[in-house]
Structure 1
Amino acid sequence: MAPFAIAQPVVVKGDIAANVARHVALAEAAAGEGARLVLFPELSLTGYEPALAAALAVAADDVQLAPLREAAMRLGVVLVTGAPLRTAGLPRIAALSFLPDGTVQVYTKQYLHPGEEAAFAVGDGGSALAMQGVRIALAVCAEIAHPEHAAAAARGGAGLYAASVLISENGYAHDAALLRGHAREHRMPVAMANHGGPTGGWQIAGRSALWDENGDLVIAAGGGGECLLLARRDRDGWQARAIAPGA
């Protein structure tokens, strides 16, 4: 599997420009280490701010996101970012994947967390990404709690289940166990990108992680704060390390 990165940013509430700029910096750091894909957390471009989601909602081709499109093309890297997606009604929670060919692939969250329906519409999922012959199935936060979601990814031939999440300190043990279980049950590596700092009033656990196809932990961030987890798999198995990019 080609090298990839799990990004754990500390986002600025509602400041898309600042968050885009930091995403680009993290993408550059990851690409400099050989990563061909960078996975960011749920709603990474705005923070988890349901009350502001309608005002912050963007289109996939929004000019505010142009630096991400340009970075993906310049670096030759897939950037999986999170934002509220503008629709005719309530926005949807989206994973917007900026591809090296200049296009944007949209995935929208199909299973909302209780209470999210007040601010967001239910999404309809989306296609898996492709990276050098490996299918990468996306998941957004509460979707990991629905076994049928991971099962569908496995049936579709996913070689990586990539979860963009917001997980609090109190919820971490439970959700990490779910992800570990998906990896073990489906023989499918699982990557999880969490926020590195508080957002939406939640005290975030950080501890972004990767589990291998046996459900064994390959690497996890030590806690909160900004970092990148760099991972690759070759004939000798998984190699991974964490770095803390400079400002």
Structure 2
Amino acid sequence: MTALTLAAAQTVSIPGDVAANIQRHLALMWAAAEQGVQCLVFPELSLTGYEPFLAADLAIAPQDAVLAPLRELARELRLTAVVGMPVRLAPQAGVLIGALVLGADGSVGVYTKQHLHPGEELAFAAGQGGEVLAFGDDRIALAVCADFSQASHPRQAAAAGATVYAASVLISEAGYAADSALLEGYAAEHGLLVLMANHGGPSGGWACAGRSAIWTADGNLLVAAPGVGDALVIARRDGGQWTGQVVAL
């Protein structure tokens, strides 16, 4: 197996302040590059915070110039960053919960959340998912929060050849035990490395749990942030063995 370094970027988003959140994302990208990270995954709607009723005003097209600083840094650092943003795929289309894949080659890919939580349909339309990401021999399948509540979602990822299942989420303290148990179970059931990037502070009225985590393909917890706040939760594979590290920021 080739070497691979992945990380969950646990960050505290400022509600609706895209410019400030971009600056924080840039800082986490620099910190990740210093750790040799090749793919960095941010939480659900990380660039706006989880603010459904601001989403229509904040939604962008995937190629919007507001993302230029992030795209340029991803290319400069040779780092793929998956960032959360409300998106419209056409001017009059509905707002989707997007995970934008800012490639190390300067490209922009789009994953859109397929399964909505109850109530999210008031602000968002259901999306269509997206392509599996290729990193050497590895394939990374993306998920956004409620996507993983459907057992068919990780099952389809595994059937598509994924070796990693990377979920951008908002998980509250109240929901953490059940949701982390689901992700742990998927790791063991499908033989996937499972990465979960959670918000590190309050968002959208939710007391987010932080504790972003990564599970190995046997279902064992490799590494997790100890609580809330900004952090990188890193998994490194070298010589076929995974090791974990948390870098607090």
Same fold (TM over 0.5): yes
- Alpha-carbon shift at residue 133 of structure 1 (Å): 2.5
Residue equivalent to 2:104: 100
Partner residue in 1 for 2:57: 55
Which secondary structure does the structure 1 equivalent of 2:244 belong to? strand
* Partner AA of 1:57 in structure 2: A
SS in 2 for 1:55: helix
Q: 2:81 aligns with which of 62, 74, 79?
A: 79
Whether the aligned pair in 2 keeps the contact of 1:89 and 1:121 (CA below 8 Å) is: no
**TM-score, length of structure 2 as denominator length:** 0.96
Looking at structure 1, the residues matched to 186 and 234 of structure 2 have their Cα atoms a distance apart, in angstroms, of: 21
- Residue 110 (1) aligns with residue 114 (2): yes
Residue type of the alignment partner of 2:63: D
Distance in 2 between residues matched to 1:4 and 1:192, nearest whole Å: 11
Partner residue, 1:22:
24
The offset of 1:59, in angstroms, is: 1.1
Superposed CA offset, 1:26-85 (max 9, x none): 001000111111010000000000010000101111111111100110000000000000
Comparing 214-223 and 79-88, the one that deviates more: 79-88
After TM superposition, give the deviation of residue 162 of structure 1 in Å. Answer: 0.2
Amino acid at match of 1:119: A
TM-score, structure 1 as length reference: 0.97
Give the Cα separation in 1 of the matches to 2:195 and 2:45.
Answer: 17
Question: Where does structure 1 differ by over 4 angstroms across 4 or more consecutive aligned residues?
Answer: none
Structure 1 alignment gaps of length 5 or more: none
CA RMSD of superposed structures (Å):
0.9
Deviation of the 1:90 alpha carbon:
2.4
1:192 match: 196
Residue 147 of structure 2: aligned partner: 143
Please tell me whether the aligned partners of residues 97 and 104 of structure 1 are also in contact (alpha carbons under 8 angstroms). yes
- Corresponding residue pairs, total: 245
- Aligned pair 1:129/2:110, yes or no? no
Q: 1:191: Cα distance to partner? A: 0.2
Q: Specify the code of the residue in structure 2 equivalent to 1:171.
A: G
Query: Structure 2: which 5+ residue stretches go unaligned?
Result: none
